[in-house]
Amino acid sequence: MKLQEIYQLVVSLGIAADPRGPEGVQQYLKQQEQYIVDLKPENRWEFDQERLVNPFSDTRILWGDPEKEVKGVFVGIDMEVGEVLLADRLAAKGQPVDLVMSHHPEGCALAALHHVMHVQEDMLYRMGVPVNVAEGIMAGRINEVKRGLAPVNHYRAVDAARLLGLPFMCVHTPADNHVNTYLEKRIAERQPVLVSDVIKLLLEIPEYQVAASRQAGPVLFAGKQSARCGKVMVDMTGGTSGSEDAYARLSQAGVGTVVVMHMGEKHRKEAEKHHINVIVAGHMASDSLGMNLVLDVLEQRGLEISPCAGLIRLCRNSEGKGHKI
């Protein structure tokens, strides 16, 4: 496959699994069209044209010729300078490495991470929070993340890949959409009654089993395993953690349990204050599950996947060369 074809495929996969649904994604893309129309002509050069066709600001080809043919992909959760150097070393030893793929964003995709957080407004709305409240809750958090990312050295790993001649891309929200959808479907099918039932459900999934064996599996951060879980919200997409102010509204909307990748102390205290059970499923395990669902499709197209950097690579298709589930 060409690099551009891989990029377009992962974006289409992300749209198919997006919690906003196809209509919501199209509405977002139309908003981007209007945004560039409203810009002053002298400022339009700054606008990232990819936002007109790709709703995920944290998923980009960071460096490389889009027409390059790719057979071998070196994939990890965090692909930074060390991993880029490792890719070059493996290529020198004969391993097929035509592309470095990171889950977590780098370069312009990291700098623009805050744009994708609007997904969380729709997720809150789906759980029963009025849309105007959801947008108000997220506005401050989105700006906080934007300010926090502003001073980061976004291009360290991208520059390393460029100097070594290694094409580099990142796939963030498309993968997170997949883990979110996957877990929502499992929970809907099983209809858990207790918090412990949700944890058991997670531990039936191979990525979480591996993580648990590494002492990084699902953990109860707030609440009790013997408590009734109530309405369960899976909160694993939308760029990064949302606002701690959401928990009061979620509690009012009837949410009893949230399942997240990770959670800071401020968020945990707010959830506990509003009697919401919190299950932290595990960051690397959850990211691995989402990436695996995407990588299986790429592997079916003939790409050879070489995992590293925290990726628990497990295959859900018969064509895969990795460890089968």
Structure tokens belonging to residue 214: 């590494």
The C-alpha atoms of residue 279 and residue 222 are separated, in whole angstroms, by 7
The C-alpha atoms of residue 262 and residue 251 are separated, in whole angstroms, by 19
Cβ neighbors of 98 (< 8 A, separation 6 or more) are: 68, 69, 70, 71, 72, 73, 167
Which helix (H) or strand (E) covers residue 126, if one does?
Answer: helix 119-126
Structure tokens belonging to residue 241: 């953690």
Q: Does residue 317 carry a pLDDT above 80?
A: no
Cα angle 161, 162, 168 (rounded to 5 degrees) comes to 50
Question: pLDDT for 145-158, tens place per residue?
Answer: 999 999 999 999 99
- Quickly state the pLDDT bin for 163 (edges 50, 70, 90): very high
Question: pLDDT for 70-102, tens place per residue?
Answer: 999 999 999 999 999 999 999 999 999 999 999
Question: pLDDT for 273-306, tens place per residue?
Answer: 999 999 999 999 999 999 999 999 999 999 999 9
Question: pLDDT for 219-263, tens place per residue?
Answer: 999 999 999 999 999 999 998 998 999 999 999 999 999 999 999
Question: pLDDT for 184-227, tens place per residue?
Answer: 999 999 999 999 999 999 999 999 999 999 999 999 999 999 99
pLDDT in the model for residue 321: 63
Domains in the chain, start-ordered, CATH in brackets? 3-172+286-310 (3.40.1390.30), 178-283 (3.40.1390)
